[in-house]
Amino acid sequence: MLGFIGLGNMGAPMAENLLKKEGRIVVFNRTAAKCEPFVEKGAVAAATVGEVAKQADLIFLSLPGPAQVEAVVRELVANGREGSCIVDTSTVSPKLNREMAELAAGKGITYVDVPVSGGPAGAANGKLSLMIGATEEEYTALGLKPYTDTIGDKYFFMGARGNGNAIKLINNYMAFAAQAINGEALAMADALGISTDAFYDVTTKSSGNNMILGAKMNKIRNEDYKPGFALDLVVKDLELARQLCQDMEIANFSLNTALQWYRIAQAKGAGCEDSSAVIRVIRETEGKH
């Protein structure tokens, strides 16, 4: 049987697509009530992580951070059996991925980092990008593609454990640093009396355009900060990216600058809002909005 642990904004739609494919899966979530809609559709709710390990040979994880991943993987390994496989879609540090892979291998269990990108909408539509800490040959031999085809349609094989999360953190750093720059640029436009509409009309059609500028444009225009990707998670990912730089002894000034803006937004109570709330905070800090 297939198992799924972590039924949050990303995990729930992925688990639902896998349930549609399999007809029956075993699920676990720290908040047990989140399992109920899946049980109604034919899933089995486990009372503990260990129960998932005992029932499932292939287990997907979608967890909020490193502490949760380590705790869950340790329990899976303690209760799991040789030949089973853990596919971890969580965004954590490459170092932790490698440690968990080594821990699992000690019991004959395969652990692969497969972080995803595309947001809840991409998860619901099965259109996620998958960044895989394995070679294509190994991934094919493990027989994972028929399952991950259900949740994603863009595959990037990064060769080694941890490299899936390494490229995910690099990508997220680029996106969220660009968003902070977008906020600073909007604050400049505010100070000059250039309207928000005029700002977007020019920048989305000129060399300053970037993917996140257009993606968050309507949220900024409509002041809609309902979370797609929560700002608290941005801080987590940027801190992980900064740790990666420290581990590799790489200087990165813009990452630290962006992180401080998101921390200020967090301190102002925007942690549970969409990541784009940082733009509102930047504009308010500069006195124009």
pLDDT per position as a tens digit, 133-159: 999 999 999 999 999 999 999 999 999
In whole numbers, what is the pLDDT of the chain averaged over residues? 96
Q: Which residues of the chain does CATH 3.40.50.720 include?
A: 2-161
> Per-residue DSSP letters for 262-284?
HHHHIIIIITTSBTTHHHHHHHH
Helix, coil or strand: residue 87: strand
Residue closest to 16 by CA, chosen among 115, 124, 89? 124
pLDDT in tens, 17-30: 999 999 999 999 99
What pLDDT is attached to residue 286? 86
Whole-angstrom Cα distance, residue 181 to residue 258?
A: 8
Which pLDDT belongs to residue 79? Answer: 97
Asked if the model's pLDDT at residue 289 lies above 80, the reply is: no
- pLDDT for residue 228: 85
Q: Which amino acid is at 167?
A: I
> pLDDT tens across 57-107, in order?
999 999 999 999 999 999 999 999 999 999 999 999 999 999 999 999 999
- Class of residue 207 by CB neighbours under 10 A (exposed 0-12, middle 13-18, buried 19+): exposed
Q: Could you confirm whether 168 is annotated as catalytic?
A: yes
Token readout for 266 is 């967090």
User: Per residue in 190-207, pLDDT tens?
Assistant: 999 999 999 999 999 999
CA separation (Å) from 50 to 12, 21, 86, 98, 195?
A: 20, 24, 13, 22, 56
Domain at 165-285, CATH from 1.10.1040.10, 2.115.10.20, 2.40.50.140, 3.20.20.70:
1.10.1040.10
Q: Regarding the domain with residue range 2-161, which homologous superfamily does it belong to in the CATH classification?
A: NAD(P)-binding Rossmann-like Domain (3.40.50.720)
Residue range(s) in the chain whose domain bears CATH number 1.10.1040.10: 165-285
Q: Which of 168, 216, 219, 236 is catalytic?
A: 168
Residue type present at position 209: N
Question: Which are the contacts of 178, defined by CB distance < 8 A and separation ≥ 6?
Answer: 210, 211, 212, 213
CB 60 within 8 A of CB 2: yes
Percentage of the chain exceeding pLDDT 90: 97
**Residues recorded for the chain:** 289
Contacts of range 244-250, beta carbons closer than 8 Å, 24 or more positions apart:
244/93, 244/94, 244/166, 244/169, 247/95
pLDDT band for position 288 (cuts 50, 70, 90): low
0.85 surpassed by pTM:
yes
List of residues 6+ apart from 51 with CB closer than 8 A: 26, 28, 79
- For the chain, the distance separating the N- and C-terminal CA atoms, rounded to the nearest angstrom, is 53
